[in-house]
Amino acid sequence: MYTVVAAKQLSEAVFRMDILAPEIARKRKAGQFVILKIDEKGERIPLTIVDSDTGRETITIIYQVVGKTTAAMSALKVGDAFQDVQGPLGNPTHIQVFGHVVCVGGGVGVGVIYPITKALKENGNRVTSIIGARTKDLIILEQEMQAASDELVVCTDDGSYGFNGFVSAVLQQIIDRGEKIDHVFAIGPVPMMRVIANLTRPYAIPTTVSLNPIMVDATGMCGACRVEVGGKTKFTCVDGPEFDGHEVNFDLLASRLRMYCEDEKRSYEKHRCGSNGN
Amino acid sequence: METEPKKEKREKIPRQAMPEQAPADRIRNFDEVPRGYSAETATLEAKRCIQCKKPGCIEGCPVDVRIPEFIKLIAEGDFIGAARKLKETNSLPAVCGRVCPQEDQCEKFCILGKKGEPVAIGRLERFAADYERDTNQVVVPEKAKPNGRRIAVVGAGPSGLTIAGDLVKLGYEVTIFEALHKAGGVLVYGIPEFRLPKAIVEAEVDYLRGLGVKIVQNALIGRIKTVDELFEEGYDAVYLAVGAGAPVFMNIPGENLNGIYSANEYLTRSNLMKAYRFPEYDTPIVRGKNVAVIGGGNVAMDSVRTALRLGAENGYIIYRRSETEMPARIEEVHHAKEEGVQFKLLTNPVEYIGDKNGWVTGIRCIRMELGEPDASGRRSPVPVPGSEFVIDVDTVVVAVGTMANPIVPSTTPGLDTNRWGYIVTKGESGETTRKGVYAGGDIVTGSATVILAMGAGRKAAQAIDAYLSGKK
């Protein structure tokens, strides 16, 4: 069992949780993820390890309530436990001295880009970060990102906080200023990553994205998480989760993410009705 | 002249059939198809065994089950004694009795099979193990005193479970590291409930825990820790039994469309995650009306029979050779036919067709004919030009084989693999190119059978014991 030692609501639908997992806490590196399963009847879902504390032997995850499992997770209290936490999984982010790096995070994807940003900064890169959300209340990890970056720009789609507009507009401004960018990391919803990759392609700025396809085992035995990169099929769980954004087939990724839409709705409905009934 | 009448009496007993769920009923549930022998039937069948002085059947068993001895105990009505006899050499008899291809193993060498039908060894093994479990008479046997040596086993499939059982009985402290959240490997994620109930696997795994085997789940070796780190932690030897679990796709156009699964994913969702009980269980699975399974092995049969139970109106097997070449067990092909599976033989997919939402709607196939025998002796299929046609489908399961998963070999320096990624071992001992590291099962041989993986575990246990006994 993997006990929840801290749980906090960050915004309307985004939650942060610290889970006791000593070995994973010791071993994990930026860019890696875990598979969690709440109980016997639960499904296995992948979530990025946002942070770890080897002293407290915990890992931190940040998740958005989008369906049954994440809703059930948000109801877990300190002292409750997950039946299974498997990890660390996936390849760690390739961290090196690139020079000037721009880290772009959208929505709950900021939780995924935060550990990478931190590692890039700690390794001597100059880091400009751009984070965005629909509205002010949905911005997460602003202070942490501030601390991990040389410069941080916060954007909201509705202009309720910071820059009024998409993260891509801020990136375009930086490029237009003629500032040299050696590498871009972009993590967030599929449409956002696609826009950023399309933006940097004509300037030949190397762009790394972290993909979030459907996963089951996450050890390379099933291919549920297969994506197309440079025309070749790759398994995100063992070959990724990070890939060259200029080579990723985002249409296929978006399409495959919709595969269980109906079932997901059904499961969530059943869960909510059950909760209301109590 | 005294033996003569006895012999006559024996031959009067025909091989006892095993009752089964009727096809029309069973395609609506995931319950086990064969129901097993009753005590009376088992006793009758056991009496057919002529107790050979030099039994051929044992030669055919990769884990050396004392076959005539356990069968004699059943014939005498000592069912518990029979179960204990089985467990002296086989830690998973309820599993083996169900999934071993006995026709190619023990029963192939049964002397009665020369003239008539062999003794139903598998069914008797299943009966004894089930009887012991169902009557709550499973006990933990005596084992050797702890010898202070620690063994790490990587992978809790049939090979890893077997070696763990063997070594723990010899006094070793054994820890199995399993990547998934449940132990059993293919027994829990691959073979469906209707062939091997998961409660039985769990009971046999619990028996090993009772013996003192420690199982650490959610531990993917290569990521959480490497083989080198296992030695640093004080393990004296490591056995790699990670299987050949990486799915093979055909790399034809459209293979990543929605609705197209690897057999591993399809079966893992259904078996391990119990998606057939969605939404009671949280994991979903596509319940197609027209489901095609590509391939002709046992995994293909398991997949297509699962599809029928998930409500498919048409379940197709698409196989590029003819029925004679099909690698699946005859019994499984027979079960599939009884259940209404449609066989599209000498047929091969060349492309998947999808709709605007990215879902598969059809398979473009080409007819094949058999050419000259290839190196393996099988006649290779050759496409017939101009014979393409389309089969309408909404779900596809690709069951054309699996290959080695590279995570452990790629994180273990000095561990040699062959060009397909399988671990190279010296002979049958399982000794690898790394000192103290042994390997067995599918990660050495490529996809084979449960019992062969168990046999490899048995031999490696002996080799590890010899290695560590020699080491002061």
Cα separation, B48 vs A177, whole angstroms: 90
Cβ–Cβ gap A37/B269 under 8 Å? no
Q: What angle do CA B148, B150, B154 make, to 5 degrees?
A: 165
What's the pLDDT tens digit per position in B357-397? 999 999 999 999 998 887 777 788 999 999 999 999 999 99
Tokens of B344: 């599209």
Cα separation, B466 vs B472, whole angstroms: 11
The ipTM assigned to this model is 0.94
Q: Which residue of A has its CA nearest to B408?
A: A219
Per CB-CB distance under 8 Å, the chain A contacts of B246 are 220-221
Residues of B in CB contact (< 8 Å) with A are 179-181, 189, 217-220, 223-225, 245-247, 249, 251, 255-256, 258-259, 261-262, 264-265, 268-269, 273-274, 278-284, 286, 357-358, 405-407
Predicted confidence band at B323 (pLDDT cuts at 50, 70, 90)? very high
**SS3 of residue B396 by DSSP:** strand
Of A216, A220, A226, Cβ closest to residue B256: A226
Per CB-CB distance under 8 Å, the chain A contacts of B261 are 224
Cβ–Cβ gap B407/A221 under 8 Å? no
Question: What pLDDT does residue B472 have?
Answer: 46
Burial of B414 (0-12, 13-18, 19+ CB in 10 A): exposed
**Averaged confidence pLDDT in chain A:** 94
As a whole number, mean pLDDT of residues A138-160 equals: 95
Question: What pLDDT does residue A84 have?
Answer: 98
Predicted confidence band at A278 (pLDDT cuts at 50, 70, 90)? very low
Question: What pLDDT does residue B2 have?
Answer: 44
Of A41, A83, A252, Cβ closest to residue B280: A41
Question: What pLDDT does residue B11 have?
Answer: 54
Cβ–Cβ gap B282/A42 under 8 Å? yes
Contact B150, B156 (CB under 8 A): no
Predicted confidence band at B416 (pLDDT cuts at 50, 70, 90)? very high
Chain centroid to CA A261: 20
Torsion over CA of B60, B65, B70 and B72, rounded to 10 degrees? 30
| Residue found by looking up tokens 């059930």 in the block | A72
Residue B328: how many other CB atoms lie within 10 Å: 23
What's the predicted TM-score (pTM) here? 0.94
Burial of B252 (0-12, 13-18, 19+ CB in 10 A): middle
As a whole number, mean pLDDT of residues A12-25 equals: 95
**Dmax over Cα atoms in chain A, in whole Å?**
59
Cβ–Cβ gap A86/B220 under 8 Å? yes
Cα separation, A232 vs B320, whole angstroms: 25
Closest of B352, B270, B355, B259 to residue A260, by C-alpha: B259
Alpha-carbon distances, residue B322 vs A67, A203, B297 (angstroms): 46, 55, 12
Closest of B370, B364, B312, B366 to residue B340, by C-alpha: B312
The C-alpha of A84 sits at a distance from chain B's nearest C-alpha, in angstroms, of 6
Per CB-CB distance under 8 Å, the chain A contacts of B220 are 86-87, 89, 219
Question: What pLDDT does residue A274 have?
Answer: 65
| Residue found by looking up tokens 């009665």 in the block | B112
Closest of A111, A103, A119, A157 to residue A8, by C-alpha: A111
What's the pLDDT tens digit per position in A235-274? 999 999 999 999 999 999 999 999 999 889 889 988 887 6
Predicted confidence band at B3 (pLDDT cuts at 50, 70, 90)? very low
B6: pLDDT strictly greater than 90: no
**SS3 of residue B398 by DSSP:** strand
What's the pLDDT tens digit per position in B253-310? 999 999 999 999 999 999 999 999 999 999 999 999 999 999 999 999 999 999 999 9
Q: Which residue of B has its CA nearest to A220?
A: B246
Q: To the nearest whole percent, how much of chain B has pLDDT over 90?
A: 88
As a whole number, mean pLDDT of residues B11-40 equals: 92
Give me the long-range contacts of B76-85 (CB less than 8 A, separation at least 24): B77/B43, B79/B39, B79/B42, B79/B127, B79/B128, B79/B131, B79/B132, B80/B131, B80/B132, B80/B135, B80/B137, B82/B124, B82/B128, B83/B128, B83/B129, B83/B131, B83/B132, B83/B137, B84/B132, B84/B141
How many contacts (CB atoms, under 8 Å) link A and B? 116
What's the pLDDT tens digit per position in B176-223? 999 999 999 999 999 999 999 999 999 999 999 999 999 999 999 999
Cβ–Cβ gap B224/A87 under 8 Å? yes
Per CB-CB distance under 8 Å, the chain A contacts of B259 are 259
DSSP assignment of B120-165: -HHHHHHHHHHHHHHTT---PPP-PPP-S-EEEEE--SHHHHHHHH
What's the pLDDT tens digit per position in B126-182? 999 999 999 999 988 888 899 999 999 999 999 999 999 999 999 999 999 999 999
> Before A22, cis peptide (omega within 30)?
no
Q: Which residue of B has its CA nearest to A221?
A: B246
Q: Which residues pair with B360 in a beta bridge?
A: B354
Question: What pLDDT does residue A275 have?
Answer: 54
Cβ–Cβ gap A238/B407 under 8 Å? yes
Of A88, A258, A267, Cβ closest to residue B279: A267
Residue of A86, A233, A234, A262 to mutate, testing the B interface (most B Cβ within 10 Å of its Cβ):
A86
Cβ–Cβ gap A216/B358 under 8 Å? no
Contact B93, B165 (CB under 8 A): no
Per CB-CB distance under 8 Å, the chain B contacts of A24 are 224
**SS3 of residue B105 by DSSP:** coil
Contact B403, B248 (CB under 8 A): yes
Closest of B360, B347, B361 to residue B389, by C-alpha: B347
Backbone angles phi, psi at A52, to 5 degrees: -145, 160
Per CB-CB distance under 8 Å, the chain B contacts of A270 are 279
Backbone angles phi, psi at B255, to 5 degrees: -70, -15
Residue of A222, A229, A255, A265 to mutate, testing the B interface (most B Cβ within 10 Å of its Cβ):
A222
Cα separation, B264 vs B272, whole angstroms: 11
The C-alpha of B219 sits at a distance from chain A's nearest C-alpha, in angstroms, of 7
Alpha helices (H) in B176-318, listed in sequence order:
186-189, 198-211, 227-232, 263-267, 298-309
Cα separation, B56 vs B418, whole angstroms: 34
The C-alpha of B255 sits at a distance from chain A's nearest C-alpha, in angstroms, of 9
The C-alpha of B138 sits at a distance from chain A's nearest C-alpha, in angstroms, of 25
Contact A20, A58 (CB under 8 A): yes
Closest of B202, B298, B296, B183 to residue B243, by C-alpha: B183
3-state secondary structure chain A: CEEEEEEEECCCCEEEEEEECHHHHHHCCCCCEEEEECCCCCCCEEEECCEEECCCCEEEEEEECCCHHHHHHHCCCECEEECEEEEEECCCCCCCCCCEEEEEEECCHHHHHHHHHHHHHHCCCEEEEEEEECCHHHCCCHHHHHHHCCEEEEEECCCCCCEECCHHHHHHHHHHCCCCCCEEEEECCHHHHHHHHHHHHHHCCCEEEECCCCCCCCCCCCCCCEEEECCEEEEHHHHCCEEECCCECHHHHHHHHCCCHHHHHHHHHHHHHHHHHC
Q: To the nearest whole percent, how much of chain B has pLDDT over 70?
A: 97
Per CB-CB distance under 8 Å, the chain B contacts of A228 are 256
Q: Which residue of A has its CA nearest to B181?
A: A84
Burial of B419 (0-12, 13-18, 19+ CB in 10 A): exposed
